[in-house]
Amino acid sequence: MTHAPRKIIIDTDPGQDDAVAILLALASPEDLTVLGITAVAGNVPLPLTAKNARIICELAGKPETLVFAGCDRPLKRKLVTAEHVHGKTGLDGPQLADPVMPLQAQHGVDFIIDTLRREPAHTVTLCPLGPLTNIAEAFRRAPDIVARVQQIVLMGGAYFEVGNITPAAEFNIYVDPEATEIVFRSGAPIVVMPLDVTHKALTTRARIEGFRAMGTEPGRMVAEWTDFFERFDMQKYGSEGAPLHDPCVIAYLIRPELFTGRHINVEIETQSELTLGMTVADWWGVTDRPANALFIGDLDAAGFYALLTERIARL
């Protein structure tokens, strides 16, 4: 029995790994209908994430995709960016031409609100791949949309893997902890792809050469993005390759059976300077705090890369 494609909004701060996630989504029309892509400030400032999102859509051959600019800074804090990981453009690695396709005039937060109000309840999934500012702002401005969300599948947080931007916090959460708290306390059904699982989705030389060997522009770009992106993690963790964080979100929507996790309580540190942005995940059930998220801890990495390779090769 074939299912209708899931309707999704991708909220993103491209970022090389965001780019691979967006390519995977746009290469999978039988599974996913991308209603729109909303850019948020994160890895690099908003003008660049809004530009990069369009570069990626054109690379996928989907210039008709609706791309919106959302919030240019966190709800309450100064923006923290990650050029040290992603480079000055956010998509360092290959040389990229400026996009031709337009940026939509509507603000990304208004697009999220209008779409959730227009589409039938529980038929739209939100896929945040960066700081949760746009999602939280939409929930704040229009609390009525929270009950209409089908699911939120996000990349962010860490428990056993601890932090990657501070000893305690993962980057997406650290940039806007207040926004994250609003989302995790909203009551919307949440699936979390933390570093615990994304650090098991490592690129390898063979996997990257598999993308390059496709002989396509998207395949070459993915290889050159991961060549650039992996140097930071390999230097820091001594790992063989780079964790492809954000594509885990999209792969979960297409093949959830590749992932395993626990439905647990996750709280966000928003006060302490020492542990700001930490996702306090009650993995062992030592509190009576209500479960509010499916926290993913593991994946079938071979199956994940097989899916990624098969789909990217279509573009």
The single residue of 84, 107, 122, 245 carrying the catalytic annotation is 245
- Residue 16 to residue 43: CA distance in whole angstroms: 10
Q: Which is nearer to ligand RIB, 113 or 253 (CB)?
A: 253
CA distances from 130 to 41, 88, 123, 134, 207 (A): 8, 17, 22, 10, 25
When asked if residue 115 is in the footprint of ligand RIB (CB under 6 A), the reply is no
Q: Where are the alpha helices (DSSP H) in 45-165?
A: 46-59, 83-86, 108-118, 133-141
Cα-flanking dihedrals φ and ψ of residue 152, to 5°?
-115, 120
Which stretch, 14-22, 23-31, 110-118, 212-220, contacts ligand RIB (CB under 6 A)? 14-22
When asked if residue 18 is in the footprint of Ca ion (CB under 5 A), the reply is yes
Q: 128: Cβ–Cβ under 8 A, 6 or more apart, which residues?
A: 11, 12, 134, 135, 152, 154, 155, 156, 172, 183
When asked if residue 227 is in the footprint of ligand RIB (CB under 6 A), the reply is no
When asked if residue 155 is in the footprint of ligand RIB (CB under 6 A), the reply is yes
When asked if residue 130 is in the footprint of ligand RIB (CB under 6 A), the reply is yes
Termini Cα distance of the chain: 26
CB of 1 to Ca ion, least distance (A): 34
CB of 171 to Ca ion, least distance (A): 8
Q: Which is nearer to ligand RIB, 42 or 261 (CB)?
A: 42
Q: Which is nearer to Ca ion, 130 or 194 (CB)?
A: 130
Nearest to 156 by CA among 137, 138, 140, 133: 133
In terms of C-beta density within 10 A (0-12 exposed, 13-18 middle, 19 or more buried), how is residue 218 classed? Answer: buried
Q: Looking at 11, 18, 230, 282, which residue binds ligand RIB (CB under 6 A)? A: 18
Concerning whether 199 is annotated as a catalytic residue, the answer is: no
**21 to 50: interface string for ligand RIB, x by CB under 6 A:** ---------------------xx-------
What is the number of other CB atoms lying within 10 angstroms of the CB of residue 284?
A: 8
Interaction site with ligand RIB (CB under 6 A): 13, 15, 17-18, 42-43, 129-130, 155, 164, 170-172, 245-246
